Amino acid sequence: VAKEAGKGRYQFFNQGMQQRAERTALMHTWLKTALATKQFELLYQPIIEVSTGKVVHAEALIRWYREGETISPLEFIPVAETDGSIVEIGEWVREQGMDLLYHYGSSYGFSLSVNVSTQEIWSHLLQDGLLTSIDRIAARLGDDFPFDQLTLEITESLLMEGHSNLIKAFEQLRAKGCKIAVDDFGTGYSSLSYLNYFPIDQLKIDKSFIRNCQQSPKQQALVNAITKMSHALNLTVVAEGVEDQWQLEFVKSVGIDFVQGYFYAKPLNKKDFIALLEASKSR
Ligand code: C2E
Ligand code: MG
Ligand code: MG
Ligand code: MG
């Protein structure tokens, strides 16, 4: 019986692997035409300043709508990272996001975060640089692009190697005024030593930490310690994934600077995001 069960499981495992490989192969093909046929949309999730309750920031989040199906960035970004299409996708995300920031950022007083994939940064370092891409887009918009209202979100995996070219690239971006945020903080396996040598401005505490807080005093202690450490290092802190009143109150009590989550707002399309800014302005 054990042998049979084992055999069955083995086949099941294989089938799953086969299906995933087929899906990945399809996505590589689909990605080739996705940009040209305008299948992507950029959504904007408000980020609220805890002390004032105001929308002062937003994170740009990509969506892929393909023949009635919505494909999650969690699924397609890793695929796009392996065939190089992430470079064009990243460029498109910055074009859209920077355009919104340029036209609405000063009148509504908000700043914007865009995610930059680790793989894209490595290819850029070998080619013409993330800074060149950002400069090119900014120059097309006008000579007064508000670089100081643009944040780049990177993940811990990028920081593990402490590559000197990487540090140089980020120092140049910061010299322009851009801010650097470490996304999904606490989920990676890197050491904390990068906080010492890597030029960053903000930590975003991953939503998995916030989700388990109410039931777990240990988790609360961790979030508290991360916040205190960040402030001691002059970093601002964002809590991701705040979904209810309890979590909001907790985040406030800990002294976290900004919150992002469904409790306040889901990612919104451009029109709804601007409408929300307009509504909060006249309040
Ligand atoms: P992330 O950068 O950590 O983005 C936050 C994710 O948490 C988003 O998922 C957002 O919709 C979700 N979220 C926000 N508030 C809540 C909440 O209260 N509860 C829950 N359960 N989730 C919440 P999304 O949009 O599915 O994106 C997933 C990941 O895909 C992002 O995680 C980011 O790593 C990547 N991604 C998204 N857009 C882009 C992009 O334009 N470029 C790159 N390179 N990666 C992107
Ligand atoms: Mg992010
Ligand atoms: Mg995040
Ligand atoms: Mg996250």
According to DSSP, the residues that pair with 66 across neighbouring strands are 69
- Ligand 1, from 63, 76, 115: best to mutate by most atoms within 8 Å of Cβ? 115
| Residues having C-beta closer than 5 Å to ion ligand 4 | 184, 206
Q: How many CB atoms lie within 10 A of CB 139?
A: 10
Query: Comparing 160-164, 169-173, 229-233, 274-278, which segment has the lowest mean pLDDT?
Result: 160-164
- Encoding tokens for residue 47? 């980020």
pLDDT value, residue 123: 85
Percent of the chain with pLDDT over 90: 77
Query: Comparing 4-13, 43-52, 159-168, which segment has the lowest mean pLDDT?
Result: 4-13
For residue 72, give the ligand 1 atom closest to its CA.
Answer: 26
- What confidence tier does 1 reach under pLDDT thresholds 50, 70, 90? very low
For residue 155, give the ligand 1 atom closest to its CA.
Answer: 34
| Region label for 3, one of left (φ > 0), alpha (ψ between -120 and 50) or beta (otherwise) | alpha
According to DSSP, the residues that pair with 43 across neighbouring strands are 61
Residues near 26 by Cβ (< 8 Å), separated by ≥ 6?
Answer: none
* Nearest listed ligand to the Cα of residue 187: 4
pLDDT at residue 2 above 50? no
Q: CB of 203 within 8 A of CB of 233?
A: no
pLDDT value, residue 163: 78
- Encoding tokens for residue 33? 């035409």
At residue 215, the 3 state secondary structure works out as coil
User: Which parts of the chain are beta strand (E)?
Assistant: 40-49, 55-66, 69-71, 111-115, 150-155, 179-185, 202-205, 236-240, 258-260
Share the mean pLDDT of the chain. Answer: 92
> How many angstroms separate the Cα of 244 from the Cα of each of 82, 254, 261, 265?
37, 16, 9, 11
With both helix axes pointing from N to C terminus, report the angle between 85-108 and 130-141 in degrees, rounded to the nearest 10: 50
User: Ligand 1 centre from 115 Cα, in Å?
Assistant: 9
- What confidence tier does 7 reach under pLDDT thresholds 50, 70, 90? low
pLDDT in tens, 234-270: 999 999 999 999 999 999 999 999 999 999 999 999 9
Percent of the chain with pLDDT over 70: 93
Would you say the pTM of this structure is higher than 0.90?
yes
pLDDT value, residue 17: 86
CA-closest residue to ligand 1 atom 23: 241
- For the four alpha carbons of 254, 258, 261 and 265, in that order, the dihedral sign comes to positive
Report ipTM (2 d.p.): 0.98
User: Ligand 2 centre from 18 Cα, in Å?
Assistant: 31
Residues in the ligand 1 pocket, defined by CB under 6 Å: 45, 60-62, 72-74, 77, 93, 115, 117, 153, 183-184, 207, 240-243, 260-262, 267
- What confidence tier does 162 reach under pLDDT thresholds 50, 70, 90? low
For residue 184, give the ligand 1 atom closest to its CA.
Answer: 3
